[in-house]
Amino acid sequence: MIHENLVLAPYACYSSESKGRVYAENPSKTRTEFQRDHDRIIHSTSFRRLEYKTQVFINHEGDLFRTRLTHSIEVAQIARTAASRLALNCDLTGAIALAHDLGHTPFGHAGQTALNECMRMFGGFEHNLQSLRIVDKLEEQYPAFDGLNLTWETREGILKHCNILNAMRLGDLGKRFLEKTQPSLEAQLVNIADAIAYSTHDMDDGLRCGLLTHKELFENVPIYRKFFEEVEKQYPGLPIRRSQKEVVRRVIGYLVDDLVTNSSEKIQGETLKSVQDVRNLQYPLIAFSDEGIAQMKVLKSYLMQALYKHYQVLRVMNKSSRVIQNLFEQFTSYPELLPPNFYEKAINGGVQRTVADYIAGMTDRYAVKEYERVFNPSYEASN
């Protein structure tokens, strides 16, 4: 595309040089291949379900807390901004960002941990692999193929983690995990934009709900203290909640600036003539500076202890894990309890993996209702 040739660096991913799709399709007259990927993800059923999947706070706990959907949108915004500054492909970056959490279970990481334990003897469960499984097989949008038939480059970016055994099964897509090489810069960028997004918006949500306090953040997180003092000096008398909102914005801005500046320096230190030169490296080029790494480490460590391990969060996650475990045990023992389309898949394609697909695709509230339908004798079928 002429537009890409004008704005992209030689080491970026060009849609005209894509490795293609599993099922060949005629090119679009109006969109690049990565724009088509982006649009297919937005229109997918799995993407819409993210609206009702937990980030940290269960969906029904409040309308203003982040969900997997809003998180994915924030990751895409951060990643696209940085991609533009680095002359990378914004369309590919956005597509990867919007798809990176499609495979997440209900109830956040607690749901994934519970489902992985249930699947321990049957290949395990990992949300990155599930995201790939969704776009490759589980989405049912097109008459000619299963999945979304995304480009190789988008699928490469979705696959953030992969163990050796699974990598061997994935062929060319899993090759980098065996050879210890790197994905595209666009994929590397989304990986870190994900960390920026969840660390900052979890801090914001934690303050909103009262599980985190201004006093403790001020005392324990230097980057919060630095920007709060700046805001207080610039806007004396500003209500605390508005000050905190400005602090979160400045933290995001600082982290993105640090990431772009340091990554640009690392890129310029290499001789890169194509995206393949990026993939041949055995170390990433998209990275924070030492100072940025230190600031992120402190913030993430604080959030782990003060928010993610807060007793109120752990109580909810414990209950959520039991919902996942009990549904899995019941459906694998009695697959005839599954909806007809999943029962057919279970009989023909394997009970455990089909049940895992069914549970992983649930929203938080659907999982709770399904639990009630299966285990509560007084639950009415019309509910």
Per-residue confidence (pLDDT) for residue 163, from 0 to 100: 87
Q: List, for the chain, all residue ranges whose pLDDT scores fall below the cut of 50.
A: 59-64
Distance of CA 176 to the CA centre of its chain: 20
Residue 15 φ then ψ, to 5°: -65, -30
Task: Return the H-helix or E-strand segment holding 242.
Answer: helix 240-268
DSSP 140-170: B--SSSSB----HHHHHHH-----HHHHHHT
Six-digit token pair at 318?
């414990």
Per-residue confidence (pLDDT) for residue 380, from 0 to 100: 67
Tell me the pTM. 0.94
> Could you read off the pLDDT of 192-247 as tens digits, one per residue?
999 999 999 999 989 988 899 999 999 999 999 999 999 999 999 999 999 999 99
Six-digit token pair at 44?
């997918």
Per-residue confidence (pLDDT) for residue 64, from 0 to 100: 46
Residues 6+ apart with CB under 8 A from 284: 182, 188
Calculate the alpha carbon distances from 340 to 91, 205, 361 in Å: 38, 39, 16
> Could you read off the pLDDT of 330-362 as tens digits, one per residue?
999 999 999 999 999 999 889 999 999 999 999
Per-residue confidence (pLDDT) for residue 62, from 0 to 100: 44
Residue 185 φ then ψ, to 5°: -65, -35
Closest to 14 in 3D by CA, of 5, 23, 27: 5
Q: Which domains does the chain have, with CATH numbers?
A: 2-313 (1.10.3210.10)
